[in-house]
A and B are shown apart, each in its own frame.
Chain A
């Protein structure tokens, strides 16, 4: 198990380097002068511009800048923005809000998706299953932000059950609507996967054996079928938690939630490359961390993987 863990971490390193390099290179190519964006209408004296360029290493070749950045990153330093604020602090200030949103959505998704998926799988080919399929098609087919807009208009503006935007109501009231929207969108995929996996397991030979041994249907389903059907589902669940952090960007913009998605959009508009790179890097690291966690967990659930 230790060897497996070390090997997985070793495989992650080139991915981290490649992904951060890509983000850094793309932001480096960003048009426009960040210093011009900094000062507004009044131009700065030459010497000040030179001083700032020097302080932020803007005149160094690209690879040197990237090297400096990675070196800082290794020490937990995400750099500072053009107002002198440490980027890590800015991100950490917003991260809890985004995490709260993504986690709430993830838990809701887990409950909705598993319930529908297991129900559909057990009633495979019957009316209940068809109902479950229609549900998943609708939520896969309708774009998430259209659902978000609709929910915001109906529940927030027309009915007034929750605040249509912002997080002044605190958790859970402010998060329930955006989280539900995200959850329904993602639950469709989960429900399908669970259903397919369960149907596959129910058809397998060892299920027949378990029945033939005289186990009750309840024991067979809870003890054997669901347990084995959950193996692919666990992978998907882990990956989707990280994916939800990325997906939260659009939902945050719609519901005006001050998370990292909002920070990212404002930083793009202000040409604050350091923050954009910082957020993207942070999300990539979180994403890869969850990937690793899932892989390790997978080894615990399914011993066949640990070779």
Chain B
């Protein structure tokens, strides 16, 4: 829906010169979005990371296992032609471990964001469309969840569990990640609801279901989706940070946060243990942030 109406608006917002002092406006044909460098690069990173999370075997070799073929005698060996990322403390191939670490981060990022998206879409639409006491209850609940700083709240929840898997972390982060989305959805639904064409279709006797289905949802869901995409990077880095200080994932899981935490004790003896997971983590978060921004500039020119 919005793709067909957006191009002119997004061209204005996506980096044209300011009109102060008023200047000529360059008219450029920027071509389809998937050919622009930022989208292309970040999209490739995101696609690669998703693939890595889903099928680590594609990258680490079939039949490989992060815990197989470990040789403690080779502990902390620097990168070599045999082990291109070196060897970790237990003497396992670090490249395989780093590749398998993608799954936890990506899973947490995507699932937490998806949950927030669904909750925000439903609660925000209810609050924005019906207003009144529904709005009051939902908005106050948002205020309460907002009253707790995100990282702090996640820590309070995570400490309840002594053994924390990916799903525990997802639960803790999802519990406090939704209020921003709900507020956004609420205001965007309110705005759409008051537009003339919606009022017109109300006057024409369209049912509530029809108005919500064919006007409200298409016009407010895309911006919300884009906003949530922007948040994936933040969730991934929150997970890694919490895991790093020992409050996130716990050992049998394989994750970049855990690898970084373990590498800390060997900073000067084996810097490669720190460099590779940090590099992958940074690349992933950066990829998702850039991807989200490219999408936002395309679909939601106002958010820029």
Q: Known contacts A15-B143, A280-B152: does B282 contact A142 (CB below 8 Å)? A: yes
Interface of A is mostly: helix
Taking CB atoms, residues of chain A closer than 8 Å to B271 are 153
User: How close is B148's CB to chain A, nearest CB, in angstroms?
Assistant: 6
Contact B278 A146 (CB under 8 A): yes
Q: Does B144 contact A (CB under 8 A)?
A: yes
Q: Does B240 contact A (CB under 8 A)?
A: yes
Q: Does B203 contact A (CB under 8 A)?
A: no
CA–CA, A106 and B278, complex, Å: 26
CA–CA, A268 and B159, complex, Å: 6
CA–CA, A157 and B271, complex, Å: 12
Taking CB atoms, residues of chain B closer than 8 Å to A254 are 244-245
CA–CA, A157 and B266, complex, Å: 12
Interface locus among B3-11, B14-22, B191-199: B14-22
Contact A149 B278 (CB under 8 A): yes
Contact B286 A31 (CB under 8 A): no
Taking CB atoms, residues of chain A closer than 8 Å to B247 are 265, 268
Q: Does B33 contact A (CB under 8 A)?
A: no
Interface of B is mostly: helix
Q: Does A293 contact B (CB under 8 A)?
A: no
Q: Does B157 contact A (CB under 8 A)?
A: yes
Select which of B140, B151, B244, B286 is within 8 A of A246 by beta carbon. Answer: B151
Taking CB atoms, residues of chain A closer than 8 Å to B241 are 143-145, 250
The B159-187 residues at the A interface (CB cut-off 8 A) are 159-162
Interface string of A214-245 (1 = CB under 8 A from B): 00000000000000000000000000001101
Interface size class of B (residues with CB under 8 A): 35 or more
Residue of B nearest to A130 (CB): B15
Taking CB atoms, residues of chain B closer than 8 Å to A73 are none
Q: Does B285 contact A (CB under 8 A)?
A: yes
Taking CB atoms, residues of chain A closer than 8 Å to B148 are 19, 22-23, 280, 284, 287
Contact B147 A149 (CB under 8 A): no
Taking CB atoms, residues of chain A closer than 8 Å to B285 are 141-143
Residue of A nearest to B22 (CB): A208
Taking CB atoms, residues of chain A closer than 8 Å to B268 are 157
Q: Does A306 contact B (CB under 8 A)?
A: no
Q: Does B260 contact A (CB under 8 A)?
A: yes
Interface string of B264-277 (1 = CB under 8 A from A): 10011001001000
Contact A207 B20 (CB under 8 A): yes
Q: Known contacts A125-B17, A250-B245, A264-B155: does B149 contact A149 (CB below 8 Å)? A: no
Residue ranges of B at the interface with A (Cβ–Cβ < 8 Å): 15-22, 140-141, 143-144, 147-153, 155-157, 159-162, 233, 236-237, 240-242, 244-247, 260, 264, 267-268, 271, 274, 278, 281-282, 285-286, 289-290, 293, 304
Would you give 7 A-B contacts (Cβ < 8 Å), ordered by A? A19-B144, A125-B17, A143-B281, A145-B241, A146-B237, A254-B244, A265-B245
